């Protein structure tokens, strides 16, 4: 009788990645769940408190402010960032001189560190001699603001800085999507008498459905995670006007040493993200 | 209006929109450069933002590099990148090789399992990592930092390598096995070299992501001697919040290596990203 020798080589190849992945991602996530049921500073003296942290969180006004800001951020990203990125992609999809340069140019802010971008904009928004107020003064318009230190304007000012940086990735994805729209179909539409606008809305956009879904998913996920630019520009201030779940989590866990509470915020962030990710995954796997 | 005139008008409109957007997008970069070359005195003299000073304040740059420790931060960041990026890619390639080409019971399940990391916000691992690192004395070590970086890069790396490996014809491995090559040899000598385009894309995007990473670095590193560039840049604000010339010089210097990498390898970004859509 001959038994076939089992082949374990696949597991051997996977082992290094698996060990790192389990120790950095999977185990800490489980550990986070555990910590979120405790109170204490993390260095010994953790006390089991059950769901107290979660109950406190759902009564915490700042949590709702942060959640609202994240939702506004998602809304702005999907509406504004996506529209500008799509417009740029359509413009840069035409053949003309300098096209490669413009693509590289608009993508460039993406490769700059979020913190560096935040610091550049901190200077642009400087209420005394920053670019924007100087500019308004130069053209004689009385529109000087304190931008990032005013509760009214801080979130929008922050979003503008983020927009400057974030346009490149969706733009490139849209460009790839536009190139996948076959020329034959567009020509057929022209022969049938469709004009450029009709062709764009009736042919190109529907054919780019998958690209749209991918871009929206990426933008929503990154809007939920937004951190560096907020940290570098306002750190959640003034008076929580730009507080996000990510900054609130960090300040609770590391500035105030409420590790249990901070971790609870992180777990809730994961749960909220699952609401976006599960439909996206089921959609993409169905398509494949 | 006849067709031709209409077309020209359309083209002109497109150019105008493009130029307006380009001007809006270039303002921050110009502001950065014009500020970086000004001394503190230039600001007090009420010089306009877009006026070049008579003497370029090179001091800003030398101060940022030495007194601001930017040179040290860049060295640290480079060490982390040189450890994280190649090791990470190799480990990811091995796993992707196992999933796409070796006998596994449920390859798709494994693949999906490895993708979970992409969906999770880093925040969810921060507290556990900092607790574990405190116990193991891994805070303020290069190893501690690049190890978690590899962990957080695994999902994306496996996704990209998986997509590429799937497209390599099976005949290639089979020919190697017939010639008596082991699985390891086949991976090292045949499959990994063929995947050069995917590796190149990953090298560059990983390098930039690692170079720019801020959140994990703040949690794991607080020793000034070991800080990476983004964490180091934040110290500029606290110490010299009012000296914008110095601050902008620091930001500019920190951006230059990134810009160099970007300009040299620019096509990999566009092609790499486009590839991700198709797969």
Domain for residue B261, yes or no? no
Is B42 in the same domain as B148?
no
Distance from CA of A68 to the nearest CA of B (A): 18
Domain for residue A26, yes or no? no
Is B94 in the same domain as B197?
yes
Contact A27 B128 (CB under 8 A): yes
**pLDDT for res B279:** 40
**B90-99 b/e (C-beta count within 10 Å ≥ 16 → b):** bbbbbbbbbb
Contact A113 B95 (CB under 8 A): no
Q: Could you say which of A123, A164, A176 has the minimum Cβ distance to residue B274?
A: A176
Task: Please name the residue of chain B whose CA is at the shortest distance from the CA of residue A167.
Answer: B25
* pLDDT tens track for A228-270: 999 999 988 789 999 999 999 999 999 998 899 999 999 999 9
Least confident of A60-69, A142-151, B148-157: A142-151
CB-based contact (8 Å) between B99 and chain A?
Answer: yes
Range of the domain at A117: 61-287
Range of the domain at B169: 68-240
CATH at residue A278? 1.10.3720.10
Cα–Cα distance for residue pair B162/B96, rounded to 1 Å:
5
* pLDDT tens track for B47-101: 666 677 777 778 888 888 888 889 999 999 999 999 999 999 999 999 999 999 8
Q: Where are the alpha helices (DSSP H) in chain A?
A: 9-21, 27-35, 52-57, 61-76, 82-93, 99-107, 114-124, 131-138, 154-166, 168-179, 183-191, 196-198, 205-207, 209-225, 228-233, 245-250, 259-287
Angle, alpha carbons B165-B169-B175 (nearest 5°)? 115
Domain for residue B274, yes or no? no
**pLDDT for res A268:** 94
- The average confidence (pLDDT) of chain A is 88
**pLDDT for res A288:** 59
Final residue of a structural domain among B61, B89, B109: B61
Contact partners, residue A46, CB within 8 Å, separation at least 6 = A35, A38, A39, A40, A260
Contact partners, residue B142, CB within 8 Å, separation at least 6 = B76, B79, B80, B83, B226
Contact B28 A265 (CB under 8 A): no
**pLDDT for res B247:** 85
**pLDDT for res B263:** 83
Residue A281 clears pLDDT 80, i.e. is over it? no
CB-based contact (8 Å) between B251 and chain A?
Answer: yes
pLDDT in tens, chain B (279 residues): 567 787 788 788 888 888 999 999 999 998 888 888 888 777 767 666 667 777 777 888 888 888 888 999 999 999 999 999 999 999 999 999 999 988 888 898 999 899 888 888 899 999 999 999 999 999 999 999 999 999 999 999 999 999 889 888 988 888 899 988 899 999 999 999 988 888 888 888 899 899 999 999 999 999 989 999 999 998 888 765 567 888 888 889 988 888 888 888 877 666 655 555 444
Q: Which of B20, B102, B124, B148 to mutate to test the interface with A (most CBs of A within 10 A)?
A: B124
Residue A123 clears pLDDT 80, i.e. is over it? yes
**pLDDT for res B2:** 64
- ipTM (interface pTM): 0.87
Contact A28 B32 (CB under 8 A): no
pLDDT band with cut points at 50, 70 and 90 for residue A284? confident
**pLDDT for res B278:** 45
**pLDDT for res B271:** 60
Contact A115 B18 (CB under 8 A): no
Is B141 in the same domain as B157?
yes
Q: Could you say which of B97, B154, B248 has the minimum Cβ distance to residue A123?
A: B248
pLDDT band with cut points at 50, 70 and 90 for residue A114? very high
Count up the domains in chain A and report the number. Answer: 1
Is B39 in the same domain as B91?
no
**pLDDT for res A147:** 84
Domain for residue A220, yes or no? yes
To the nearest 10°, report the CA torsion of B24, A136, A158, B49.
70
Task: Please name the residue of chain A whose CA is at the shortest distance from the CA of residue B230.
Answer: A115
- Rounded percentage of chain A residues whose pLDDT exceeds 90: 45
Contact partners, residue B260, CB within 8 Å, separation at least 6 = none
Task: Please name the residue of chain A whose CA is at the shortest distance from the CA of residue B263.
Answer: A104
Closest CA to A169 of A91, A71, A103, A227: A103
Is B142 in the same domain as B88?
yes
Residue B211: count other Cβ atoms within 10 Å of its Cβ: 23
Distance from CA of B135 to the nearest CA of A (A): 9
Which residues in chain A are contacts of B269 at CB distance < 8 A?
107, 111, 172
Tokens of A62: 């700042």
Residues in chain A: 288
Is B55 in the same domain as B108?
no
Q: Could you say which of B122, B208, B233 has the minimum Cβ distance to residue A115?
A: B233
Least confident of A65-74, A163-172, A241-250, B199-208: B199-208
CB-based contact (8 Å) between B1 and chain A?
Answer: no
Is B36 in the same domain as B91?
no
Contact partners, residue B164, CB within 8 Å, separation at least 6 = B96, B195, B197, B198
Count up the domains in chain B and report the number. Answer: 2
Which residues in chain A are contacts of B103 at CB distance < 8 A?
7, 10
Is B112 in the same domain as B171?
yes
CB contacts < 8 A, A to B, total 252
Domain for residue B266, yes or no? no
Domain for residue B249, yes or no? no
Contact partners, residue B55, CB within 8 Å, separation at least 6 = B39
Q: Are B227 and B73 in contact (CB under 8 A)?
A: yes
Contact A246 B236 (CB under 8 A): no
Is B90 in the same domain as B43?
no
User: Would the CA dihedral through B87, A25, A8, B160 be positive or negative?
Assistant: negative
Least confident of A15-24, A138-147, B123-132: A138-147
Better pLDDT: A24 or A288: A24
What are the backbone dihedrals phi and psi of residue A48, each rounded to the nearest 5 degrees, phi first?
-70, 125
The end-to-end CA distance of chain A, in Å, is 42
Contact A20 B244 (CB under 8 A): no
Contact B121 A173 (CB under 8 A): no
């Amino acid at each position: 009788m001959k038994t076939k020798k089992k082949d374990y080589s696949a597991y051997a190849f996977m082992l290094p990645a698996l060990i790192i992945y389990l120790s950095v991602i999977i185990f800490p996530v489980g550990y986070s769940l555990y910590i979120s049921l405790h109170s204490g500073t993390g260095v010994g003296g953790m006390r089991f408190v059950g769901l107290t942290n979660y109950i406190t969180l759902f009564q915490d006004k700042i949590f709702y402010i942060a959640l609202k800001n994240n939702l506004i951020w998602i809304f702005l990203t999907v509406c504004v960032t996506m529209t500008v990125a799509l417009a740029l992609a359509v413009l840069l999809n035409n053949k003309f001189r300098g096209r490669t340069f413009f693509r590289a140019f608009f993508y460039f802010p993406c490769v700059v560190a979020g913190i560096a971008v935040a610091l550049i904009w901190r200077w642009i928004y400087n209420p005394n001699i920053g670019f924007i107020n100087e500019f308004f003064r130069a053209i004689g318009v009385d529109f000087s603001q304190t931008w990032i230190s005013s509760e009214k304007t801080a979130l929008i000012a922050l979003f503008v800085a983020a927009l400057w940086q974030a346009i490149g990735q969706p733009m490139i994805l849209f460009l790839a999507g536009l190139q996948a729209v076959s020329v034959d179909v567009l020509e057929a539409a022209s022969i049938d008498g469709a004009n450029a606008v009709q062709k764009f809305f009736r042919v190109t956009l529907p054919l780019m459905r998958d690209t749209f879904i991918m871009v929206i998913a990426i933008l929503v996920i990154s809007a939920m995670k937004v951190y560096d630019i907020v940290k570098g520009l306002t750190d959640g201030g003034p008076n929580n006007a730009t507080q996000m779940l990510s900054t609130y989590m960090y300040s609770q866990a590391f500035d105030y040493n409420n590790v249990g509470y901070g971790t609870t915020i992180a777990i809730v962030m994961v749960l909220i993200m699952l609401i976006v990710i599960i439909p996206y995954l089921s959609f993409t796997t169905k398509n494949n | 209006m006849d067709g031709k005139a209409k077309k020209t008008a359309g083209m002109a409109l497109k150019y105008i929109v493009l130029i307006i957007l380009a001007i809006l997008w270039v303002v921050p970069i110009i502001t950065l450069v014009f500020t970086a070359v000004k001394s503190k005195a230039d600001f007090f003299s009420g010089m306009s933002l877009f006026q070049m000073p008579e003497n370029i304040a090179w001091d800003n740059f030398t101060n940022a590099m030495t007194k601001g420790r930017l040179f040290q931060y860049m060295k640290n960041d480079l060490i982390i990148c040189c450890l994280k990026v190649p090791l990470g890619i190799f480990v990811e390639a091995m796993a992707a090789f196992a999933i796409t080409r070796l006998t596994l019971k449920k390859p798709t399940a494994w693949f999906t399992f490895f993708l979970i990391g992409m969906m999770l916000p880093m925040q969810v691992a921060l507290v556990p990592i900092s607790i574990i690192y405190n116990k193991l004395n891994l805070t303020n070590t290069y190893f501690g930092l690049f190890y978690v970086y590899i962990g957080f890069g695994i999902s994306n790396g496996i996704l990209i390598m998986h997509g590429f490996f799937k497209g390599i014809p099976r005949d290639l491995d089979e020919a190697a096995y017939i010639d008596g090559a082991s699985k390891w040899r086949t991976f090292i000598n045949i499959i990994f070299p063929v995947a050069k385009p995917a590796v190149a894309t990953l090298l560059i995007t990983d390098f930039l992501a690692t170079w720019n990473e801020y959140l994990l670095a703040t949690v794991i590193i607080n020793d000034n001697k070991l800080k990476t560039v983004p964490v180091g840049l934040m110290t500029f604000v606290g110490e010299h919040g009012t000296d914008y010339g110095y601050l902008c010089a620091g930001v500019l210097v920190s951006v230059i290596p990134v810009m160099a990498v970007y300009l040299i390898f620019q096509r990999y970004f566009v092609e790499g990203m486009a590839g991700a859509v198709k797969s």
